Structures are given as structure tokens and as C-alpha cells.
Amino acid sequence: MIDYTRILVIDSDTRARSRIREIMSAYPYSLEEASDGVEGLQKLIRFQPDLVLAATELPRMDGLHLCRQLRMIPSMQEIPLILMAAEQKDLCTLEGLQSGADDLIAKPVERLDLLARVERQLELWERFARLSSEREGLYLIQEMIHSLYAKETVHDMLFTLVLNVAEIMGVDRCSFVRVYEDRKTGIVEASSDNPALQHLKIDLQRYPEMIEVLNSREMLVIPDVGTEPIMVFVRRYLKETPYRSLVLVPVLAEDESVGTLLLCSARSNTPFTEQEIWFLETLVTAARPVIEHLLRNENNRGDFQVHEEEEVDWAFAGADNTQAMMEEVFRIKGGIDRLKKLREKLHRQNISRLSRK
């Protein structure tokens, strides 16, 4: 299924809107139109576009006022906005850039010029949105990891993680499966769709995707189980489940005392996005030392109870991962700052060019 980019075109000129729609029709863009500034502002809220094309001259609310109003809405402060104006309206477009527009284009629009400017702004916006989402994801992961310290048993900890993943990502099922050396039987330790489920045995011969991860020790993403080659021998079993897409992440490598632990997520409707896959992989990296520590303690004592002297060791167990997460936060923050500077640089160049005219 094509993921269409939403573009809102605001122009009182019907022919100009038709021209833009004609140019965009060959590309994966979903267009919404408005004929004046007030209608445009209303559709901004409802349509939630990825980019706005607005004429400077509009009835009821001109493009400059619209631009200022747009930048006052917190959720739309970073959405790219391209102003369209007649070539002789340089002073007007200069004021538009100073009002918060990201770029400008002369009317009537030329096909290649319009496509190039739209593509450039969307690329910058997508990179900025991805980095912002990653930053929010890291903060969310940090909160999830801290919440594990309050759990009294391994099952409580694992169930908390899979439940959080299921709720955040909207998956139908998320579970932890432990596998021992013989690789014939798996043990479902926790599953998001059943709080009471633990120590459930499963036959690994019916789960070739788990065998694949055990052999490769790498994450496995299956967008569609119906077309995945490694699932061919278990297709008859797939009719019993509604799941279409799978992601499996190895949490712990093979170990005599705790075995191999896998995080498995399944979804019945849409495939997992790159951002969701990144989130799962990063979450596992952050949670790994805590999970390993708790599993070893439970195996050694037969129960789980953290003593004061062990809390210090536990904290040190996650120190490397905490440092790695902080480095990732700084990397993402640096990327966001660089993108902001690039957008500001392009902005200043446009203003400088118009000021010299």
C-alpha cells in the first residue's frame, strides 16, 4: 500500500490549483485544496498536511498572516510551507520568508521548479521528523527501563515490557520466548495478550522464524508471512493465526543458565516501519543488562528479591548501555541541530537574494 504524502494547496485561483494538481498527479502525493486563508487554516487542523503550498494573495486571510498563524500552532511549527507569488512581488515574498515560510516560488509555477522545491522541503522535514521521533523514543525507552527496577519477579518485568511495547506500537501480540540448548522446545515467559501466561512450552519446529534468529543471532523482520520463504513449510499452521508481520529480536545469546531469550512482536494489519524496528532494537539493547541480571538471580536463588548490595551491581550492569543511550541522544540532538541550521541557512539565502533585488 502506497503511503501518500499529504500536501495542502491554498490559492484562490482555480486554474493555479488545477495546474498544481496536474503536476503532482504522477507522484505519491495526496492533495487537499482551499480557496482562501481562513478555509486553509481550518483544513490545516483537519487535514494535518506534511507540506503547505500557499499563495501570498488570498481572500479573508492573506498568505503572510496564514504563515504567522501556522507557526503559532505547536504541532505545526516545523511543517514546511512554500509561498507562491507573482515574480514582481519580491517584497511580499521577502516579508513571507521573514514571517516563517521555508521557501518561495514564482507564479505561475513551473513543473520542475515546483517538484524540486517540494522534494527538498519534504526531505528536510522527513529527516527532522525521524530524528525528533527517535529522540522521543529514547526518552520513552529510558522511562520503561527505570520502571523495571520496581518489579519483584522476572515475569512481572518481562510482562511489563511486552505490554508497553504492544500498547506503544499497536501490535497484536508481543512476547518473550526462552530457548535452551536442544532448540526443540521454547518457553513463552510472558505475552502481552495474557497476563497470567508463563512457562508455556511451544514446539520450535512450528516456528522456523525463531530457529532462523537462533542460528543468525540477528534481528529478523518478516513483512508478510504469506510470502516469506522460511515460512513455506509451516503455511498450513499460519491459517490458524491472524498475524501477517513479525519482528524477532535476540535479547540474550545462548547461555547455559538462562538460555536464549527472544522478543517476538506480531501484527495482523500493516508491516512494521523502520522507526518501529529501530525502537524495538534500541529497547532490547537498553534492557538487556537488566534482564540478564534478573534472570541469573532468579536461577541462582529460585526466587527474586533484590538486596541492597545487589542494587549497586545492577546499576553497574546497565552503565555501559546508559552511556550508549546518552551517546545516541547526543547524536540525534546533533542531527536535529544540523537540520535546523541547514533550514535557517536556506532561509537566510532566500532573504539575502530578495533583499539585493
Taking only the tens place, the pLDDT of each residue in 210-253 is: 999 988 889 999 998 888 888 887 767 666 677 888 999 998 76
- 296 and 159 belong to one structural domain: yes
Give me the pLDDT at residue 333, please: 54
Q: How many C-beta atoms surround the C-beta of residue 288 within 10 A?
A: 19
- 104 and 205 belong to one structural domain: no
All three cell numbers of 103: 521557501
- 85 and 165 belong to one structural domain: no
In a domain, 139, yes or no: no
Count of H-run helices and E-run strands, the chain: 11, 11
Phi, psi of 202 (to 5 degrees): -130, 150
In a domain, 61, yes or no: yes
Which of 124, 127, 105, 130 has the alpha carbon at shortest distance from 115? 105
Number of domains into which the chain is organized = 2
Write down the pTM of the prediction.
0.55
CATH of the domain at 125: 3.40.50.2300
**268 Cβ neighbours under 8 A, 6+ residues apart:** 172, 242, 243, 244
Taking only the tens place, the pLDDT of each residue in 331-352 is: 555 555 555 555 565 555 555 5
In a domain, 202, yes or no: yes
- 181 and 280 belong to one structural domain: yes
In a domain, 95, yes or no: yes
Domain region containing 181: 153-304
State which H helix or E strand residue 249 sits in.
strand 245-252
Give me the pLDDT at residue 45, please: 85
Q: Which amino acid is at 168?
A: I
CB 318 within 8 A of CB 290: yes
Angle at which helix 111-148 crosses helix 319-355, to 10 degrees, equals 160
Which of 322, 287, 292, 312 has the alpha carbon at shortest distance from 147? 287
Give me the pLDDT at residue 114, please: 93
Low-confidence ranges of the chain (pLDDT < 70): 1-3, 87-98, 131-133, 235, 237-240, 253-259, 298-357
> CB-hemisphere CA count at 13 Å for 208?
12
Asked, as a colleague might, if the bond just before 208 is cis with ω within 30 of 0, I would say no
In a domain, 71, yes or no: yes
- 13 and 116 belong to one structural domain: yes
CATH of the domain at 169: 3.30.450.40
In a domain, 176, yes or no: yes
All three cell numbers of 238: 499460519
- 168 and 300 belong to one structural domain: yes
- 172 and 264 belong to one structural domain: yes
